[in-house]
Amino acid sequence: MSSKTSAQIEESKKLRTVYGACPHDCPDCCALETQVDELGRAVSVHGRNDHPVTKGWLCAKVNRYLERVYHPDRLRYYCAPWCAMHPSIQLCGHSRSGQ
Q: Does residue 66 register a pLDDT over 70?
A: yes
User: Regarding the domain with residue range 6-85, which homologous superfamily does it belong to in the CATH classification?
Assistant: ADC-like domains (2.20.25.90)
pLDDT of residue 2: 46
CA distances (Å), origin 19, targets 5, 64, 83: 19, 17, 35
Residues 31-44, mean pLDDT to the nearest whole number:
91
- Helix (H) / strand (E) containing 12: helix 6-12
Q: What is the mean pLDDT of the chain?
A: 75
Q: At 8, is the pLDDT very low, low, confident or very high (cuts 50, 70, 90)?
A: low
pLDDT of 42 over the 60 cut: yes
Which one is predicted more confidently, 69 or 7?
69
pLDDT confidence bin for 12, thresholds 50/70/90: low
Residues whose CB is less than 8 angstroms from the CB of residue 2 and which lie 6 or more positions away in sequence, other chains included: 9, 43, 44, 66
Is a pLDDT exceeding 90 seen at residue 17? yes
pLDDT band at 73, cuts 50/70/90?
A: confident
